[in-house]
A and B are shown apart, each in its own frame.
Chain A
Amino acid sequence: MVQQLGHLPMGWLMLALLAMMASGAFFVGRVQAERFSAAGSGRFHSRPNYHGYYVAMWTVVPALVMAMAYGLLGDDIVRALLRRELPASFSAMPPIELSVYLDSISRAASQGGFSGSDRIFSAITNRFLELQGVIKTVTIGLTTLCAGSGFLLARRRVAPGFRARNKVEGGMEAFLFLCAAVAIATTVGIVASLLYESLRFFAQVPIWDFLLGTRWNAQTSAEFGALPLFFGTFMIALIAMLIAAPVGLFAAIYLSEYAGPRVRGSVKPILEVLAGIPTVVYGFFALLVVAPTIRTIAVWINMTLINAGVTSEPFLAAQPTSALAAGLVMGIMVIPFVSSLSDDVINAVPQTLRDAAYAMGATKSETVKHVVLPAALPGIIASLLLAVSRAIGETMIVVMAAGQRARISADPTADLTTITVQIVALLTGETEFDSPKTLSAFALGLVLFVITLIFNLIALRVVQKYREKYD
C-alpha cells in the first residue's frame, strides 16, 4: 500500500491541490466579506474581492513553500533514508558508484517497480518506493496543514476595517520584486557556477599553466594551456572587426547623413535582417560557400607562388576550414550591431553642430569627419566594443567553420580553434562533472564571461555618459 503511494504524480497533484485551495480560499474570503457588508456592519475599507485575494494569498504561499521544499529536497531525503538502511556491504562501495547505483534504483522505481531476477536490487527498489510513498504522503499532509493554518489565520482577520487591499498590493509588489530579482539570480547563478567549477579545475591544474600554457590537448591527454585558444579567439574576432567596423560604420554614416528617407527606410530593416538570422545559418553558409572558396583561392595563390619560384613550399595552409572563413562570416553577422548603434549615436548629434560646420563652408564629408564623428566618437567606440564582445562570444560560426586544432599561427587560411569551440567540444557527449576535462570548459567559460563583461561594462558606461551629454 505504502509502496503504491510511491507512484503518486507529485507535480500534478500539488498543482491541483494548490489550484483547489486557492480558489476555495478566495471564495470563502469573499463570501465572508460580502456577508459582513450585507449585514451593514460599517463601511468596508476594501472591496470583497480583495478579502478573497488576501485569504487565498495566505493559503497558497505557505503551501507553495512546502511544495518547493519537496521539489528541492524530496529526492535527497528519500536517498539519505535509504542509504542508512542499506546492508553493510554497500557502505564499502565508493561514493560515486553508490550514487550511480541509487540513480538506477530511482529510475527503475519511476518506471513502475522492478521485476527482474536481481533480488537485492528489486528489494531495494521496493523499499525506495515505500520510502518515497511515506515522504510524499507526509509532504501532502504538511502542505495541507500549512495551507489550512494560513487560511484560518487569514480568515479571522477579515473584518470591515481590515485593509485587505493594501496587504494584497504589498504582497503583489513583493512578487514583482522577486520577478525582477530573477535577473540578479541568473547573474549570481552564472558567476557562482563558473567560479565553483573553475576553482575545482584550478585545484588540479595551476592557473598560470592554464592562462599561459601553449599546449592545449584536453580531449586526449591532459594538456590545458589555453593560450592558443585565446589567440584563435582574438584572431577571428580581429578578422571579423576588420570587416564589420568599416562596413558598419560607413553604412551608418551613409544612412544617417546621405541617404534620403526612402532609401533609409528600406535599407535599415534589411541590414537588421542580418542580425535576425540564426548564427547556425551563418555557420552553414561559411561551411558551404565561404570556406571552400577561400581554400580554392589559397591553393591558387600557393600554386602561383610556387610557379613563380618565390617559394618552394606551399605558402598558405589552405585548410578546408579556416580562421578567415569564420572571421569573414562573423564580420558579416556583426555588421548590424555596429551600424545600428552607430546610426543611433550619429543621429543623436545635434543638428546645430552640422549647421555650424556648413556655415563655415565645409563639405558634407568634412562635416562628418571633423564634426559629427568626433562628437559621436564615444558612442561609436561603444558600438564597436559591443560588436567585439559579440564576436568573441559567438559560437556556432566558429564551431562549424574555424576548426579544432589549437595552435598559434598568423596564417588566416589555417584552422584555428577558439574558446567557444572548445567549450562545445568538451561538453557535448557524455560528461562527468568531476574530470578536469569537463571542468576546463567552465574555466574557459569564466574567461569568456570576464572578457565580454569588461567589454560590455565599458561600452554601456560610455553609452550612458554619452546620452547624458546630449539629452
Chain B
Amino acid sequence: MTNLSAGPFRNEKALARLRKRRAADTRFRLYGLSAIGFALAALSLLVFSIGAQALSAATYHVVKYDVVLDAAVIAPKGKDTPDQISRNVDGFYSLVRENLKDTFPDARDDRRSSRELGELMTRLAVLPTARKVADNPTLMGQKITITAPLNDDLDLYLKGAASPQKKVKLGKVVSVEAETGRTYRLAGPAAFKVIESLVSAERFEVGDAVDRQSILLTTGATTGKISDVTTDSAVIDLLTGNADDFKGATPVARLIGIPQSERNVTDQQIAWTLALKDMGRISRVPHLSLLTHTDSTYPELAGALAAIVGSLLTMFVTAFIAVPIGIFASVYLEEFAPRNRVTEIIEVNINNLAAVPSIVFGLLGAAVFLGFFGLPRSAPLVGGLVLALLTLPTIIIASRAALKSVPPSIRAAALGVGASKMQSVFHHVLPLAGPGIFTGAILGMARALGETAPLLLIGMVAFVADVPSGPTDEATALPVLIYSWSTNAERAWEPMTAAVIVILLMFLIVMNGIVVLLRRRFERRW
C-alpha cells in the first residue's frame, strides 16, 4: 500500500487546485439558484404588490341618506316624464345635500363649508336612484334610503391609504370651557400628555394654518381640531358636533401627517365623515359596482362591465375567425401540402409572424381594416379581426404539433380500409388531435385576451359609458381599461386598476386551468 498523500493527486498543490475547482462548482450552482430566486422574487413582488392594492378596492364605503322623494324637487312641472326624471341629477342630488345639511346644520351658513359638505357624495351617484324612481313612479313622495358611495378620497382616508395617520387614546377630559366663537378649552389632568410630548419633540406642528399638520380630537360624533396643547389642556376649534360631549369622555386623537393644503380632503370633511360613521350611516361593503357599473370619470362610480363585455365580444370574433382558419391551415400544412418552395415559404412565414411585435398588427388593422375597408373605429369587430391575425400563427403551430403527434399507423389503417386521404384526416386524425388543438386554441385566445397595444391603435381606448350590444358598437377591452385607468391622476384609481387586473388574471387563470385539465384528462402517449 503506497502512501496516498505522496501521490500526484494528494500533494498540497493538487488539493488546493481541487478545492478551488470545487468552490467554483459551488459558486456556479449558487449563480443558478440565485437566478431562479430572482425570477421567483420578481414574480411574487408583482403578485403581492398588485394583490395588496386590489384587496383594498375589494370593499368600499357607502353612506345611507334617508330622504323624502319630494315630487316638487325631482319631478317639477314640465320635467316630469320618466325619461326626464331618470336624468334629473340636480333634483335628486339636492335632496341628498339637504339631508346632509340637516345632519350638519353648521354647514348651512357658510358657502365654502356647504360646498365641502356636498363633496361627500358625487352628484352622478344619484343616477341609479333616479332610474329606479322613473321606473316606479309610485315611490314619489315616499321616504326612501339612498345608499351611495362615499367620495373616493374620503374612502381612501377611511381605509388608511390616503395619508399617514397615528391614532392615540387620550386621558379623561374633566372640563369644557367655551372661549370665543367655536373655540373651546378642554382640560383634564395629564389628558393630553401623549400629544404634548409629540408636539414638543417637534414631531408635529399644531396650529390653525392649512400648511400645518392636523390633530383631530374625536369623541362620538363630535370632532375638534387642536390648535394649542399643554399636558393638561388643549384648545380646539370645534369642527362638528357638540363640545359638551367631551366632558367626561376619553377622546381619540388622530395625528394626520400631511398638512391640509397637500391633501384632497379637508379636516372638516374628515370630521363629518367620522361623525357619519359614528352615526352608523357609513358601512364598508363589497365593491360589486366594479363588476356591474360602466366606466366613469369618478373612481367611486366606475366599473369594468363595459370592458368585460367588450373583451368577450372581441374574443368571440377572434375565436370565430382564428380557430377554424388556424385548424384548417394546420391540417393543410401537416397533411396535404406537397414539400415544395411554396409550402416552405408559408412555414417560414408563419414562424416569423408568430414573433412579429403585436403593435405591428395594430398598424395593419389601422391601415387596412380602418383605412382601406372603412370598418368602424373602436369596434370589437375590428379588434377581433386584428387579434385573430395575431393569434393565428400560435394556433397553427400548436395544432400542427397536435396533428404531428398522431401516429402514422392511424392514417395507414384508415387508408388501408379504403378511406380517401380527406376521409382519413377528417374522420380519424383530426378527432384524435382534437384535445391538443383545443388546448392550443385556448392558449392563443388567452394571449389575445391580454393584448393591449393593437387595440390602442384601432381606437378601442375611447371612453365608453354604455355596454356595447354588438360587435360594431363602440367598445373597450379589459387590458385597455387597465391602461387608461392607470394613466388617471387620482390616487383612488390605483387600487381600482389593480382590481381590474385581478379580474383579467381570473379570466386567464380559468382559461389556463381548462388547458391543464384537458391535458390531464386527454393526454395520450402513443
Contacts and interface: CB of A to CB of B under 8 A. Distances in A.
B461 A428 contact: yes
Contact of B459 (A165, A182, A428): A428
B353 A187 contact: yes
Given A186-B364, A368-B28, A441-B363, A179 B332 contact: yes
Contacts, number: 263
A194 interface: yes
Contacts of B353: 183, 186-187
Contacts of A251: 32, 35-36, 39
Contacts of A246: 35
A253 to B, nearest CB: 5
Given A278-B508, A395-B358, A427-B457, A187 B352 contact: yes
Nearest to B42: A332
B371 interface: yes
Contacts of A179: 324-326, 328-329, 332
Given A251-B35, A274-B43, A393-B358, A279 B363 contact: no
A278 B35 contact: no
Contacts of A169: 420-422
A182 B329 contact: yes
Interface in A333-380: 335, 339, 363-366, 368-369
Interface string A28-53: 00000000000000000000000000
Interface string B442-460: 0000100111110011010
A166 B498 CA distance: 57
A277 interface: yes
Interface stretch (B102-110, B125-133, B389-397): B389-397
A228 interface: no
A278 B451 contact: yes
Contact of A189 (B333, B336, B364, B452): B364
B265 to A, nearest CB: 22
B35 A284 contact: no
A430 B351 CA distance: 34
B368 interface: yes
Contact of A365 (B25, B459, B498): B25
Of B363, B479, B501, chain A has the most CB atoms within 10 Å of the CB of: B363
A180 B360 contact: no
A445 B50 contact: no
Contacts of A75: 374
A433 interface: yes
Interface in B458-505: 459, 461, 479-480, 482-483, 486-487, 494, 497-498, 501, 504-505
Interface in B408-435: 420-422
A284 B497 contact: yes
Contacts of A457: 352
B6 interface: no
B355 A456 contact: yes
Contact of B357 (A253, A277, A335, A394): A394
A363 B28 CA distance: 11
B457 A283 contact: no
Q: Which of B345, B367, B453, B486 has the most CB of A within 10 A?
A: B367
Interface string B346-360: 101111110111111
A234 to B, nearest CB: 15
B366 interface: yes
Interface residues of A, number: 90
Given A186-B353, A186-B392, A453-B356, A279 B450 contact: yes
A253 B32 contact: yes
A442 interface: yes
Contacts of B49: 285, 288-289
A267 B32 contact: no
A359 B310 CA distance: 62
B31 interface: yes
A59 B38 CA distance: 62
B45 interface: yes
Contact of A254 (B21, B32, B350, B358): B32
B331 interface: yes
B337 A180 contact: yes
B413 to A, nearest CB: 19
Interface centre among A175, A182, A248, A453 (most CB of B within 10 A): A182
Nearest to A441: B363
A222 interface: no
B364 A183 contact: no
Contacts of B355: 386, 389-390, 452, 456, 459-460
A254 B486 contact: no
A143 interface: no
A177 B337 CA distance: 8
A457 B374 CA distance: 33
A281 B352 contact: no
B483 A281 contact: no
Contacts of B368: 189, 193
B183 interface: no
Contacts of B350: 183
B16 interface: no
Nearest to B34: A250
Contacts of A365: 24-25, 27-29
Contact of B21 (A173, A332, A363): A363
B25 to A, nearest CB: 4
A175 B328 contact: yes
A255 B367 contact: no
B420 A165 contact: yes
Nearest to A188: B349
B32 A445 contact: no
Contacts of B349: 183-184, 187
Nearest to B483: A280
A400 interface: yes
Contact of A424 (B31, B332, B457, B512): B457
Contact of A420 (B356, B357, B479, B498): B357
B40 interface: yes
A206 B368 CA distance: 25
14 contacts: A169-B421, A169-B422, A193-B368, A247-B35, A271-B36, A280-B482, A420-B359, A424-B359, A428-B457, A428-B459, A445-B359, A456-B352, A457-B352, A460-B348
Interface of B: 21-22, 24-25, 27-29, 31-36, 38-40, 42-43, 45-46, 49-50, 53, 324-326, 328-329, 331-333, 336-337, 345-346, 348-353, 355-364, 366-368, 371-374, 389, 392-393, 396, 420-422, 446, 449-453, 456-457, 459, 461, 479-480, 482-483, 486-487, 494, 497-498, 501, 504-505, 508, 512
Given A172-B422, A183-B392, A249-B35, 4 more contacts: A184-B345, A389-B355, A395-B358, A448-B357
Nearest 3 pairs of A and B residues by beta carbon: A393-B357, A254-B32, A278-B450
